[in-house]
Amino acid sequence: MANDKLQTAKSAKNDEFYTQYVDIEKEMNAYIDYNPEVFKNKTILLPCDDPEWSNFTKYFAQNFQRFGLRKLISTSYAVESKKYKVNYQPSLFEEEDEKFDIDKTRIKGKIFILERDINNDHKINIDDLEWNYLEGDGDFRSEEVKKLRDESDIIITNPPFSLFREFMAWILEADKKFAVIGNMNAITYKEIFPLIKENKIWLGATNFNKGMYFGVPENFVYASTYKFEREQNGIKVNRVPGVCWYSNLEHGRRYQPLTLMNMIDNKKFSKHKEIKNIGYIKYDNYDAIEVPFADAIPSDFSGIMGVPISFLDKYCPDQFEIVNLSRYLEDSRGMSKEFVQKYYEQGNKGQISEGHPDLCYFDNNGNAIVPYMRILIRHKNPR
Ligand SMILES: C[S@@+](CC[C@H](N)C(=O)[O-])C[C@H]1O[C@@H](n2cnc3c(N)ncnc32)[C@H](O)[C@@H]1O
């Protein structure tokens, strides 16, 4: 129970992480480099935002004309509805506006719209943003925000991490283009992985597995183990390790095949001690070879290969087919009795038993190994 509470508090805290301008710019540049007209005549919705100071709103408002946007809509979630209690103070911008309402400011979401030149300076930019309170609290699941979703072409945001599954389902049910930030673990979700396998969604172009620094509220308390930078560009930040962008907008990195050596050359020249002079080990319970590093994928192997999840950052759909994720294997032969026995003799504490479907192998020294989750892939043109 106490643990549950702690977990809820932790994920609520993680919901208030604000994306830095440079991270948005880098990712959007990749889409624009691939297709300079990607945003032309499009309506972009930025949900789960705090438009008065969000870098998403700022970035798209500043670039409204350059991108040729039709309309920019940005919505925020009411401060009273947020799970993580921040020290809320309405902005001067809101307080000085005639629409300011002392009650609504805490319980209503806000909407900001940019689509026309309201100050007659012959430009459409951040000064032309029009705002209002929403009817409700700005929950992305509300009918009100769903309507905004439906009228939009592209949805871009860093949604609350604790609601990532629901948020993705919300985008996908409306069949929208999107670019959103999420936890890397989401790759393995049963709702997400099949879409990655079918090339309906993919990883973004930047920041994979590097750890991103997000702005955090003033009253944010760091974990006792936190040892990274606490300030960047004058704002309080917190580094989150395993995050990445998810998208269905095209970018060039997806079309850059990996340059690889064949099996014989890998065995002779690989920089990895696990491969050099050894070659590739077959799984004990599945017809595939273990390839522990993406750059050690042999170019001429036509069978199935198990690679770490980080391969996805290098995945070029013209080069490889994704067959499955080890977690979802239905045709594994299961772990043998000998394997399980050896595994426990080595002092491992993992919970496995005979018939367990996870991939496993005996390494060159006869050790029983269960590799961390693997993506199973196959070359489209082995050579
Ligand atoms: C990870 S933060 C990111 C904020 C902003 N998009 C950015 O990147 O700077 C997610 C935001 O979504 C808000 N939020 C939480 N639950 C929500 C919900 N059900 N509907 C809409 N917004 C929500 C949180 O309060 C938080 O402000």
How far is it, in rounded angstroms, from Cα 80 to Cα 90?
13
- The residue from 195, 223, 254 where one domain ends is 254
Q: Tell me, yes or no, whether 206 and 279 share the same domain.
A: no
Are 237 and 309 contained in the same domain? no
Number of domains in the chain: 2
Best probe residue, ligand 1, of 77, 149, 158, 213 (max atoms within 8 Å of C-beta): 77
In this structure, the answer to whether residues 351 and 288 fall within a common structural domain is yes
From the alpha carbon of 157, which atom of ligand 1 is closest? Answer: 6
User: Rounded to an integer, what distance in angstroms lies between the CA atom of residue 120 and that of residue 92?
Assistant: 23
For residue 185, the tally of other CB atoms under 10 A from its CB is: 13
Answer whether 133 contacts ligand 1 (Cβ < 6 A): no
One pLDDT digit (tens) per residue for the chain, 383 residues? 455 555 555 655 678 899 999 999 999 999 999 999 999 999 999 999 987 889 999 999 999 999 999 999 999 999 999 987 777 889 888 999 999 999 999 999 999 999 999 999 999 999 999 999 999 999 999 999 999 999 999 999 999 988 999 999 999 999 999 999 999 999 999 999 999 999 999 999 999 989 999 999 888 999 999 999 999 989 999 999 999 999 999 999 999 999 999 999 999 999 999 999 999 999 999 999 999 999 999 999 999 999 999 999 999 999 999 999 999 999 999 999 999 999 999 999 878 999 999 999 999 999 999 999 999 999 999 99
Looking at the fold, whether 237 and 280 belong to one and the same domain comes out as: no
Among 237, 254, 271, where does a domain finish? Answer: 254
- Which residue is listed with tokens 């977690």? 327
pLDDT at 1: 42
308 in the same domain as 189: no
Q: Quote the CA–CA distance of 246 and 182 in Å, as a whole number.
A: 7
Asked if residue 240 and residue 275 are part of one domain, the reply reads no
> CA–CA distance from 311 to each of 71, 188, 191, 219, 334 (Å)?
36, 13, 20, 37, 25
Instruction: Judge if 170 and 317 occupy the same domain.
Output: no
Indicate whether residue 19 lines ligand 1 (CB < 6 A): yes
pLDDT of residue 88: 84
Token pair in block for residue 81 = 């509805």
Among residues 207, 236, 254, the one where a domain terminates is 254
Question: Looking at ligand 1, which atom is closest to the CA of residue 138?
Answer: 21
User: What is the end-to-end Cα distance of the chain in Å, rounded?
Assistant: 56
* Whether residue 298 sits in one domain with residue 166: no
Q: Is the CB of 48 under 6 A from ligand 1?
A: yes
Shortest-distance Cα residue to atom 16 of ligand 1: 160
pLDDT of residue 4: 53
The pLDDT of residue 12 is 59
Query: Residues 315, 198: one domain?
Result: no
Ligand 1 atom with the smallest distance to the CA of 159 is 10
Looking at the structure, do residues 200 and 266 belong to the same domain, yes or no? no
Query: Given this model, what pLDDT does residue 29 score?
Result: 98
How far is it, in rounded angstroms, from Cα 39 to Cα 69? 6
Residues 337 and 264 in one domain: yes
Same domain, 248 and 272: no
- Of ligand 1's atoms, which has the minimum distance to the CA of residue 55? 9
DSSP state of 178: E
Nearest C-alpha neighbor of 196 from the set 59, 11, 377: 377
Q: State the residue range of the domain holding 286.
A: 257-379
Does residue 182's CB lie within 6 angstroms of at least one atom of ligand 1?
no
Burial track 106-134 (b if 16+ CB lie within 10 A, e otherwise): eebbbbbbbbeeeeeeeebebebbebebb
* Angle, alpha carbons 77-80-81 (nearest 5°): 55
